[in-house]
Structure 1
Amino acid sequence: MTSTKVDIEIWNGKGDFTLWSQKMKALLMQHKCVKTLDEFWEEEIIERKRNKQIDTTWSLIFLHPSNSVIREVGKTETAEEIWTKLESLYKTKSLPNKCYLWKQFFIFKFDPHLDLEANLDRFNKLTQNLTNSSETLSGEQQAIALLSALPEKYKDLRNALE
């Protein structure tokens, strides 16, 4: 079996924390230590293996934020503690944040300088951010917003889809 080295960008406290955390969890899964975030352990796991996995998880998470973020979470001692601290700092679910996300969703327009795939990626990021902030977004809402966001050059497509 071959292993592939995966590089995850350094978390600098800006941008999409949810996407970074998903990648980080995948990396932890690859190293077979993601369960250390849950602090749930089956009885048959020996203490030494558990401690080794906890140390590995903590170090993998600790090595991926930028220096300024490490200063905020550096006093943590367990994987669960550092993960919880990162989520509390960067995964906001406040009312102003939700209002901002909804506004961005409803005013979304395709950027004419970007290709279709890049625009769809921007749209998917908006919908994922809303879902991650515990908001419910129906398929109909997504379809209407996407059709409304299409530029004039896609009017035939828009008409066919409507």
Structure 2
Amino acid sequence: MLPFVDDENKARRAQTEINQAAGDDGVRPVVFSTLVNESLKVIVRDADALFMDLLGGFIGTLEAELHQTAGRVRGLAHGASDHDRYMSRIDAVNFTLQHDDGLAIEGYGRAELILLGVSRVGKTPTCLYLSMQHGLHTANYPLSLEEIQAQRLPPILRP
């Protein structure tokens, strides 16, 4: 696997690595490519390998059918084309993991959402979804039976 081939140097390194694998094994490697940059695609395609462009066969057909030109921007499929937004989501995921299941309560003031509930109801996956997909800094807190019976926020969570 040769991930993140996003500039000419990386494409040339990928080409060299593929050529070396072909020479070492005596069998041409099969390269499955999702490169959208044509100049990078040409470099990798010139390697001693069977080059399979996984997107190329579909893009033209879809453009014709939808009467739109494809964006051809790397990272769109992974939501990584906007670096600042991507890093914000990573920061949100890290925050969520650090503040999971009642951990690091002193940091709850920075949370955009605190999810309360009894154990085993899906607080963690819900918080992770919100942080990964929407960049929200979330925390979750497991309510005990005593806290539920008191019918008010636990003292530690009150403003």
With structure 2 as the length reference, what TM-score do the two structures score? 0.32
Report the structure, 1 or 2, having the larger strand content: 2
Report the structure, 1 or 2, having the larger helix content: 1
Q: Radius of gyration: which is bigger?
A: 2
Which of 1 and 2 has higher RCO (CA within 8 Å, sep 6+)? Answer: 1
